[in-house]
Amino acid sequence: MVAGEASGDLLASLLLQGLRARWPGLEAAGVGGPKMAAQGFDAWWPSDELAVFGYVDALKNLPRLLWLRQRLYQRMVARQPQVFIGVDAPDFNFTLERRLRAAGLRTAHFVCPSIWAWRPERVHTLAAAADLVLCLFPFEPELLARHGVPAVFVGHPLAQAIPMVPPRAAARAALGLTEEATVVALLPGSRRGEIAHIAPTVVQAARLLAAGRPGLQLLLPAAPGLKGQLAPLCAGLPITLLEGRAHEALAAADAAIVASGTATLEAALYKCPMVITYQVAPLNWRLMRGKALQPWFGLPNILSGEFVVPERIQHEATPERLAADVLAWLDDAPRAAALRERFAALHASLRRDTAKEASDAIATLIQK
């Protein structure tokens, strides 16, 4: 298996639970993170080796990434595993999967790339790379079938892992917050590049919120290894900087500012009103914007087919706008309640026994 970044590590760890339940003697190795390691995964390299941010960062790290992919290919071919599973990280995994498939190995890709949102040409690359695609969203298998790509909807593992009714009281108690407190969660990303581009604006928005609402509780869960990068930004501000604990923060929060990505879906599953934001280098923005197929960036809006939560992307991402969007949620209880109902329906549509259904699909692929 090869899983990139914190979100891939989480998805892969949940899949490993299902695989190990089916095959207790399972041996799994490759690129992974701490959650995969907790499932007995042998990480030859850590998942943060693949954590690059945008085109510019990818170009800077290209020699190292090419070396790593070649070494992985050599080790996989030498070991001849029953199946290779690439978890997300499509720009890295697709080439590796295609080469492994050409060498006679079975390949699966976990998480359909967002060809319905941007870069639709990747479907042809996917068709050449994967014998099977495990899809997180119910509309994806039909889309892939039109291009001859075998795929199965296995649900989103987060929809099963996160309870339908958020444990608000328990989360607040664990974080030392009162039931009466007004709480805002700040999630500016899980990669160093995201922190560099997005966190300063989010923290400035938090400064405005704290000034306008004395007593407001601000929580910033730091991804593993990033607390040191965030601490100087938060110095002198009433922000509680957490080591991880993003799910507790979202369960406890009345509203959130969230960087576009998996965290926006996590916030929706915790029924947390949010404003979605994202900022990249100007060159990355020009390249990304030209390939977008939809008006939405955040998963809750994409899956809903409308702007159910505001998005402040690139030049629109100002501290003033982010703070105003948060206050709008805090000051309009009926609107926030209606959003939570929408999120509950979204949660139900994604909820499956993902670990079992995904491992069933992998077993079928191996038997073929």
Q: What is the pLDDT of residues 250-284, one digit of tens each?
A: 999 999 999 998 899 999 999 999 999 998 766 66
Residue 307 inside a domain? The answer is: yes
**What's the CA gap between 343 and 345, in Å, rounded?**
5
Contact at 8 Å (CB) between 89 and 71? no
Q: Which of 237, 167, 181, 165 is nearest to 204 (CA)?
A: 237
Q: How confident is the model at residue 174 (pLDDT cuts 50, 70, 90)?
A: very high
Model confidence at 27, in pLDDT bands (50, 70, 90)? very high
Q: With a cut of 70, say whether residue 29 has pLDDT above it.
A: yes
Is the same domain home to 30 and 82?
yes
Q: Average of pLDDT values for 122-149?
A: 92
Q: Calculate mean pLDDT across residues 32-56.
A: 84
Provide the pLDDT for residue 68.
93
Single-letter code of the amino acid located at 244? G
Mean pLDDT computed over 200-220: 95
Rounded to 5°, angle at Cα 72 from 155 and 94: 45
Q: Is 332 helix (H, G, I), strand (E, B) or coil?
A: coil
Residue 162 lies in a domain: no
Residue 179 lies in a domain: yes
Query: Coil, strand or helix: which one is 225?
Result: coil
Are the CB atoms for 70 and 79 separated by under 8 Å? no
Count CB neighbours of 302 within 10 A.
18
Question: Do residues 210 and 266 both lie within one domain?
Answer: yes
Residue 110: strand pairing partners: 87, 134
Residue 42 lies in a domain: yes
Digit-coded pLDDT (tens) for 296-352: 888 999 899 899 999 999 889 999 999 999 999 999 999 999 999 999 999 999 999
Asked if residue 183 and residue 35 are part of one domain, the reply reads: no
Q: What is the DSSP letter of 116?
A: T
Whether 93 is in a domain gets the answer yes
Q: What is the pLDDT of residue 6?
A: 79
- The whole-angstrom separation of Cα 100 and Cα 126 is 13
Q: What are phi and psi of 108, to 5 degrees?
A: -130, 150
More confident residue, 177 or 116: 177
The pLDDT of residue 53: 54
Sheet containing strand 255-259, edge to edge, reads 239-243, 217-222, 183-187, 255-259, 274-278, 311-313
> pLDDT grade, residue 55 (50/70/90)?
low
Q: In this structure, are 210 and 335 located in the same domain?
A: yes
Nearest alpha-carbon partner for 368 in 134, 123, 21, 108: 108
Q: Is residue 67 a part of any domain in this protein?
A: yes
The domain of 257 spans: 168-350
Same domain, 180 and 314: yes
Confidence of residue 120 (pLDDT cuts 50, 70, 90): confident
Does 364 have pLDDT greater than 70? yes
**How high is the pLDDT of residue 136?**
92
Whole-structure pTM value: 0.78
What value does the mean pLDDT of the chain take? 91
For residue 256, list its beta bridge partners: 185, 274
Same domain, 259 and 338: yes
Q: Which of 5, 46, 15 has the alpha carbon at shortest distance from 223? A: 5
362 and 336 in one domain?
A: no
What was the pLDDT predicted at 291?
A: 58
- 139 CB-contact burial (10 Å; exposed 0-12 / middle 13-18 / buried 19+): exposed
- The reply to whether 163 falls in a domain is no
* Domain co-membership, 331 together with 356: no
* Structural domains of the chain, count: 2
Kindly report the backbone phi and psi dihedral angles of residue 57, in degrees, each rounded to the nearest multiple of 5, phi listed first.
-65, -40
160 located within any domain: no
247 with 317, same domain?
Answer: yes
Q: Quick one: pLDDT at residue 139?
A: 87
Give residue for tokens 């207790």: 24
193 shares its domain with 271: yes
% of the chain at pLDDT higher than 70: 93
Are residue 306 and residue 263 in the same domain, yes or no? yes
Q: Nearest CA to 228 among 241, 247, 245?
A: 241
Own/partner pairs, 220-225, CB within 8 angstroms, 24+ separation: 220/185, 220/186, 220/187, 220/188, 220/249, 221/185, 221/187, 221/245, 221/246, 221/248, 221/249, 223/6, 223/189, 223/190, 223/191, 224/6, 224/34, 225/48
Output the CA torsion sign for 95, 98, 101, 106.
positive
The answer on 129 and 48 residing in a single domain is: yes
Assigned token pair, 289 = 């914007």
Residues ≥6 apart with Cβ < 8 Å to 108:
83, 84, 85, 86, 130, 131, 132, 133, 134, 361, 362, 365
Q: What is the CATH number of the domain that holds 213?
A: 3.40.50.2000
